[in-house]
Structure 1
Amino acid sequence: MTTATRPSSRTAFRVEPLTCSIGAEVSDIDLGEVARDDAQFDRLRSLLIDHKVLFFRDQDITRAEHVALAERFGPLEDHPVVGSDPDHPGLVRIYKDVDSPPEHFENAFHCDATWRDNPPFGSVLRCVEGPAVGGDTIWVNMAEAYRRLPETVKVQIAGLRARHSIEATFGARMTMDQRHALHARFPDAEHPVVRTHPETGEKILFVNSFTTHLVNYHTADNVRFGSDYAPGAGNLLQYLTSQAAIPEYQVRWRWTENSIAIWDNRCTQHYAVQDYWPAVRKMERAGIVGDRPF
């Protein structure tokens, strides 16, 4: 008879699930220490895979500790439009107030940077300064969104692929020359509509607000007449992207100063609610390099 190994006191974090589908708040933890301790980090990573997004409060860590924690998951990536903190490469400053341009694409359901061939593994996001009320963020379990699709839709989308674009989103406010230059640096990426999580094997609905169109829909099986493709393919994509808005798949987090969220970008989407003007919302995010969806 074997005896189960109990976590040590240093890894026995308090974990409180926030919904039946996604998200847990973790307490009795110091993320600065986790960044330096293998056992604590391994426990944290396991919790992330289980809950898809983890939340923490009262984490008064430095920017260097923030970066160190994120780098435990993998190398960090910069953002070609938003940019990084000059002293901490890979730490993106998302500072919003009433005069900020609406170019961060936060208030739409999205999976970060799917316009990359290798979208991010995930992110570590810290609230530096937030409004007294408002400015919440919603995360969505896209594995659950796929699981609860009608079987007829699952059959229809099996094998479909879609195009994801930075030019059509971040580039839309640029001049034509700037937009074309951005596209030259980051050509549209093509990903499966249903990806497989590389660690859990879950099937994930993998379309979002960066997705422009289905690239292999126009076949004899799907298109009899032109109207079967346009607007037929667009209507299907709109239906699929709308699944992220279903509350049963969501968790909503109210930010406080020094609260932190860590999420698995491979199986979630998120939406930053911009309801707090004219208050200020200052966030800092370390995005982690990911792998090619399959």
Structure 2
Amino acid sequence: MQQAISAMEERTRAHSPNENWPFTVTQATPAIGAYVSDIDLREPLDEPAYLALRRALIRYKVLFFRDQDITPAQHVAFARRFGKLEVHPVLTHDPDHPELVVFDKSDKKRGRENIFHSDVSWREVPSMGSILRCVECPPTGGDTIWVNMAGAYENLPEDVKARLEGLRAVHDLMPLFGAALSPEQRVAVRAQNPAVTHPVVRTHPESGEKLLFVNEAFTTHFANYAEIAGYRIGFDLKLGEMDLLQYLFRQAAAPEYQVRLKWEADTIAFWDNRATQHYAVQDYYPAVRRMMRATVIGDRPV
């Protein structure tokens, strides 16, 4: 595994020259993440800046911006530059901007996002990216971790990669979000958001990278495991499926694929949901942590 990780680091360095960016980019870790400075997100992005940010996002997978005191309207305008925005069917919205999800945690409401996931992977057309701003941060704690899922796939053993060929997985919002809904709400939300299937390994539509696309929050099972693995004895089939899925979930926990951000007020993180997973660390209760997120609609995984 160390040889594979070293190879990944070499490629990261080779593909990270001092490009003529219209802003300053500082790489965060060899595997994932970069800090972007000398840019004011209150101002509309011109075409060169937009294209450069999109290239940086594809290259580094998550971008961090400090000291961006933007309004909710400016947040929406910046996010909309990258595509259409979704309205989440369950989470709380900003009253004036339904495209903005509000995460408002305190001693009265504990955070529940502490599981590796890719935002809205349960949609038939999942997210391209998410843009999260810290409005109010706890004095310490409340970090977020992002994971490079291209690296996670690349370093899988070849025999495991062979087992994943043609395999599809089911993604569902209800196991995570259903518990907070009334029975009537569950019926209504389920009617509008059925479970969907996506390839276990998807191809990034812009970089061409192969990406491991299952996550512990929303992936419930494989849709066609028996067809791919073959059937012997019932418990072999089910245990084999569970073991493989749990093995794939655990790849996100490897520090070699991760970057960790310590939030400050007016920090913004912009990440590629196709190529990453993330985990919000819930170690700050009962302190206040208030965040706002816009989510850009993406493309159907293939």
Aligned residue for 1:30?
A: 40
- The alignment covers a number of residue pairs equal to 283
Pairing 1:228–2:236 present: yes
Which secondary structure does the structure 1 equivalent of 2:247 belong to?
helix
Is it true that 1:154 corresponds to 2:173 in the alignment? no
Query: Do the aligned partners of 1:126 and 1:258 also contact (CA within 8 Å) in 2?
Result: yes
Aligned to 2:221: 213
Match of 1:85 in 2: 94
Match of 1:270 among 261, 275, 278: 278
* 1:270-289 matches, cutoff 5 A: 270-289=278-297
Deviates more, 1:212-221 or 1:158-167: 212-221
Contact kept, 8 Å, 1:222 with 1:228, in 2: the verdict is no
Which amino acid letter does the alignment assign opposite residue 219 of structure 1?
Answer: E
3-state SS of the aligned residue for 2:127?
coil
| Residue in structure 2 matched with residue 3 of structure 1 by the alignment | none
In structure 1, what is the Cα distance between the partners aligned to 2:290 and 2:264?
A: 11
Would you say 1:48 and 2:57 are equivalent positions? yes
Corresponding letter in the other structure for 1:207: V
Equivalent residue letter for 2:137 = G
Offset, 1:57: 0.5
Change (3 A) 1:220 1:88: closer
Structure 2 residue matching 1:118: 3-state secondary structure: coil
Is the 2:167–2:228 Cα contact (8 Å) retained in structure 1?
A: no
- Structure 2 letter corresponding to 1:18: A
Listed as ranges, the matches of 1:99-110 within 5 Å are 99-100=108-109, 105-110=112-117
What is the distance in 2 between the residues matched to 1:137 and 1:170? 20
- For 1:181-229, what per-residue CA distance to the aligned partner results, in whole angstroms no more than 9, with x for missing partners? 3211100011000000001110000000200000100137432111221
Corresponding residue for residue 248 of structure 1: 256
Matched, 1:238 2:254: no
- The CA deviation at 1:147 is 0.2
Cα offset, 1:261, TM superposition: 0.4
CA contact (8 A) 1:167 1:180 kept: no
Cα deviations by residue, 1:104-149 (Å, 9 ceiling, x for unpaired)? x511000001110011110111000001100000000001000000
Q: 3-state DSSP class of the match of 2:266?
A: coil
Instruction: Tell me the secondary structure at the aligned position of residue 85 of structure 2.
Output: coil
Q: Which consecutive aligned stretches of 4+ in structure 1 deviate over 4 angstroms post-superposition?
A: none
> Structure 2 stretches of 5 or more lacking a match?
1-18
Unaligned ranges ≥5, structure 1: 1-5
Residue aligning to 1:21: 31
1:174 Cα deviation (Å)? 3.1
Instruction: In structure 2, give the amino acid aligned to 1:215.
Output: A
TM-score for both structures, normalised by structure 1: 0.92
Q: Aligned in 2, Cα 1:211/1:220: closer, same or farther, shift over 3 Å?
A: closer
In structure 2, C-alpha distance between the alignment counterparts of 1:241 and 1:123, rounded to whole Å? 21
Query: 2-side partners of 1:279 and 1:58: how far apart?
Result: 22
Residue identity opposite 1:184 in structure 2: A
Alignment of 1:5-20 (within 5 A): 7=20, 11-20=21-30
Hey, what's the Cα distance between the residues in 2 that align with 1:70 and 1:17? 22
Q: Distance in 1 between matches of 2:212 and 2:45?
A: 35
Q: 2 CA distance for matches of 1:286 and 1:272?
A: 16
Equivalent residues of 2:101, 2:292 under 8 A apart: yes
Contact 2:106 2:285 in 1 (8 A): yes
Query: Does the 8 A contact of 2:141 with 2:262 survive in 1?
Result: yes
Identity of aligned pairs, percent?
A: 58
CA distance in 2: counterparts of 1:273 and 1:40, whole angstroms: 32
In proportion to residue count, which structure has more helix?
A: 2
Tell whether 2:75 aligns with 1:66: yes
With the length of structure 2 as denominator, give the TM-score of the two structures: 0.90
| Distance of aligned partners of 1:230 and 1:176 in 2 relative to their CA distance in 1, 3 Å threshold | farther
Amino acid at match of 2:283: D
Residue by residue over 1:13-65, the C-alpha shift from the partner in whole angstroms, topping out at 9 and shown as x without a partner, is 111111110000111111122x3422212211111111000001111111111
Instruction: State how far apart, in whole Å, the 1-side matches of 2:115 and 2:74 are.
Output: 29
Tell me whether 1:194 sits opposite 2:204 in the alignment: no
The one of 91, 94, 106 equivalent to 1:97 is 106
- Alpha-carbon distance in 1 for matches of 2:286, 2:24: 36
Deviations 1:223-263 (CA, angstroms, capped at 9, x unpaired): 21112212220111011011101000000000000000000
> How far apart, CA to CA, are the structure 1 residues paired with 2:47 and 2:132?
21
